[in-house]
């Protein structure tokens, strides 16, 4: 099968507000050259700390933000080459589910109107068909018809996220970028919304990009995972390989941050220390070197390229970890 999404050299550089302290051409390299594919029906998890560029990447993919450079190729078409009606069509196919659904829901609209709005705006349904479609969407996300006349403030966080998901589904997208869809929710509600997203993926043959802060949040939903650091992918591979045999020290550090219930399995290395450096003046060479326990001279001088280290698993590191282990080794 051909990939549904191909991201090539994707960059977003924001100019820095000029001050007496800033140099002439300072800019924030929020996203600094991403390359990856997503296959139809697959879920790609994108993980990294705040400020790594993962949300910015998601917004460029769904065409909410214009890239500084690079291409988003969707279903074989470079989205930058489209115009007019074709752009609207592509926007329907690519939807975003936000972290905080409340901020994206108009508080003066009922749930019915909120879910009907995208269908009306895109001229997809009217009259009886519109009503039937709204009710079908509410049911699909687990909200009964009794909720249709209520307003967003009358709902819990999890229910609001269901409304946000219904709005995204209304346009029958092929791909949904979920930007930390459960991180604002109570832990007890998170699993319910994740299970809903999984069910909907199967039911509507959706392809997902699932953006999250840490590896545990994407473990059960992702087929493959990309780990981002300062605007770049430092490792990408199958979920199994990343968890069992991480090649990049940053991935390894993120795994060490995961609490392990059995103390005998706890590893002895220090957890990740130090702050995320500024994306305005990223460190020389490998941007992770100030925080990397394995850094050598070459790491400060030469940026490592993202290269295949094992079958289906690439990392950007001069001294990759776990190279001697079988990629399916259990951990
Ligand atoms: Fe650490 Fe060097 Fe690998 Fe960067 S290239 S992650 S500094 S070992
Ligand atoms: Mg974010």
DSSP secondary structure, 282-297, as one string: PPSSSTTGGG-TT--H
Domain-located, residue 308: yes
Domain span holding position 311? 239-331
Task: Tell whether the model's pLDDT for residue 277 goes beyond 90.
Answer: no
For residue 296, the ligand 1 atom closest to its alpha carbon is 2
pTM: 0.92
Using the mean position of ligand 2's atoms as its centre, give its distance from the Cα of residue 53 in Å.
8
Using the mean position of ligand 1's atoms as its centre, give its distance from the Cα of residue 246 in Å.
13
**Dihedral angle sign, alpha carbons of residues 211, 307, 42, 94:** positive
Domain-located, residue 86: no
Domain-located, residue 314: yes
Domain-located, residue 316: yes
Displacement of CA 252 from its chain's centroid (Å) = 19
Over range 191-196, report the average pLDDT. 94
Q: Are strands 175-179 and 94-97 parallel, antiparallel or unpaired?
A: parallel
Burial class (CB in 10 A: 0-12, 13-18, 19+), 164: buried
Q: What percent of the chain has pLDDT over 70?
A: 91
Domain-located, residue 277: yes
Domain-located, residue 221: no
Over range 172-186, report the average pLDDT. 94
pLDDT reported for residue 286: 97
pLDDT reported for residue 279: 82
CB-facing half-sphere around the CA of 180: CA atoms within 13 A? 15
**Which residue from 23, 19, 10, 58 is spatially nearest to 280, judged by alpha carbons?**
23
Task: Tell whether the model's pLDDT for residue 327 goes beyond 80.
Answer: no
**Which residue from 310, 226, 181, 183 is spatially nearest to 31, judged by alpha carbons?**
226
CA distance 1 to 167: 29
Of residues 260 and 309, more confidence is placed in 309
pLDDT reported for residue 34: 98
Q: Are strands 27-38 and 313-315 parallel, antiparallel or unpaired?
A: unpaired
Average pLDDT in the chain:
91
Of residues 262 and 38, more confidence is placed in 38
pLDDT reported for residue 19: 65
> pLDDT tens digits for 104-131?
899 999 999 999 999 999 999 999 999 9
Over range 211-232, report the average pLDDT. 94
Task: Tell whether the model's pLDDT for residue 93 goes beyond 80.
Answer: yes
Tokens of 111: 């749930």
Using the mean position of ligand 1's atoms as its centre, give its distance from the Cα of residue 292 in Å.
6
Task: Tell whether the model's pLDDT for residue 68 goes beyond 60.
Answer: yes
For residue 299, the ligand 1 atom closest to its alpha carbon is 2
Using the mean position of ligand 1's atoms as its centre, give its distance from the Cα of residue 14 in Å.
26
For residue 248, the ligand 1 atom closest to its alpha carbon is 6
Over range 177-191, report the average pLDDT. 92
Phi, psi of 12 (to 5 degrees): -140, 115
**Which residue from 65, 76, 55, 64 is spatially nearest to 8, judged by alpha carbons?**
76
For residue 319, the ligand 1 atom closest to its alpha carbon is 8
pLDDT reported for residue 259: 63
Q: Which residue is associated with the tokens 């109107």?
A: 113
pLDDT reported for residue 43: 98
CA distance 73 to 75: 7
Over range 307-312, report the average pLDDT. 96
Helix (H) or strand (E) holding 95: strand 94-97
CA distance 150 to 103: 17
pLDDT reported for residue 15: 86
> pLDDT tens digits for 43-60?
999 999 989 999 999 999
Pocket test for ligand 1, best of 251, 292, 293 (most atoms within 8 A of CB): 292
Displacement of CA 328 from its chain's centroid (Å) = 25
Over range 258-287, report the average pLDDT. 72
Measuring from each residue's beta carbon to the nearest atom of ligand 1, which residues come in under 6 Å? 248-249, 286, 288-289, 292, 294-295, 299, 304, 317-319
Task: Tell whether the model's pLDDT for residue 65 goes beyond 80.
Answer: yes
CA distance 133 to 138: 9
Domain count, the chain: 1
Instruction: Give how far Cα 195 sits from Cα of 46, 177, 198, 221, Å.
Output: 18, 16, 5, 9
Q: Is residue 267 left, alpha or beta, with left meaning phi > 0 and alpha meaning psi from -120 to 50? A: beta
For residue 318, the ligand 1 atom closest to its alpha carbon is 5
Domain-located, residue 285: yes
**Which residue from 97, 70, 93 is spatially nearest to 6, judged by alpha carbons?**
70
Ligand nearest to the CA of 212: 2
Over range 16-26, report the average pLDDT. 66
Domain-located, residue 249: yes
CA distance 108 to 90: 29
**Nearest CA owner, ligand 1 atom 5:** 317
SS3 199: helix
Pocket test for ligand 1, best of 288, 303, 323 (most atoms within 8 A of CB): 288
Task: Tell whether the model's pLDDT for residue 325 goes beyond 80.
Answer: no
Using the mean position of ligand 2's atoms as its centre, give its distance from the Cα of residue 220 in Å.
20
Q: Are 20 and 196 in contact (CB under 8 A)?
A: no
Ligand nearest to the CA of 181: 2
């Amino acid at each position: 099968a051909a990939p549904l999404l191909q991201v090539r050299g994707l960059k977003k550089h924001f100019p820095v507000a000029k001050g007496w302290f800033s140099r002439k051409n300072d800019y924030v390299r929020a996203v600094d050259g991403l390359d990856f594919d997503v296959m139809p029906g697959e879920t790609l998890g994108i993980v990294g700390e705040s400020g790594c560029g993962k949300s910015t990447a998601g917004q460029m993919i769904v065409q909410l933000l214009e890239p500084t450079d690079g291409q988003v190729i969707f279903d074989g078409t470079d989205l930058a080459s489209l115009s007019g009606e074709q752009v609207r069509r592509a926007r329907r196919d690519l939807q975003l589910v936000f972290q905080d659904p409340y901020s994206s829901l108009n508080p003066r609209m009922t749930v019915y109107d909120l879910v009907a709005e995208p269908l009306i705006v895109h001229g997809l349904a009217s009259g009886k068909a519109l009503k039937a479609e709204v009710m079908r969407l509410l049911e699909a996300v687990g909200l009964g018809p009794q909720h249709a006349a209520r307003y967003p403030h009358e709902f819990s966080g999890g229910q609001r996220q269901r409304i946000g998901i219904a709005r995204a589904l209304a346009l029958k997208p092929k791909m949904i970028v979920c930007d930390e869809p459960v991180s604002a929710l109570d832990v007890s509600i998170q699993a319910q919304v994740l299970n809903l997203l999984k069910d909907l993926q199967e039911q509507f043959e959706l392809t997902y990009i699932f953006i999250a802060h840490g590896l545990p949040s994407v473990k059960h939903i992702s087929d493959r995972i990309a780990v981002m650091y300062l605007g770049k992918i430092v490792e990408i591979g199958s979920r199994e390989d990343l968890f069992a045999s991480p090649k990049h020290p940053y991935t390894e550090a993120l795994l060490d941050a995961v609490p392990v219930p059995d103390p005998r399995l706890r590893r002895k290395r220090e957890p990740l220390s130090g702050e995320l450096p500024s994306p305005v003046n990223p460190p020389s060479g490998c941007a992770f070197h100030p925080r990397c326990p394995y850094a050598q001279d070459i790491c400060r001088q030469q940026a490592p390229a993202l290269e295949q280290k094992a079958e289906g698993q690439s990392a950007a590191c001069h001294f990759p970890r776990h190279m001697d282990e079988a990629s399916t080794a259990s951990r």
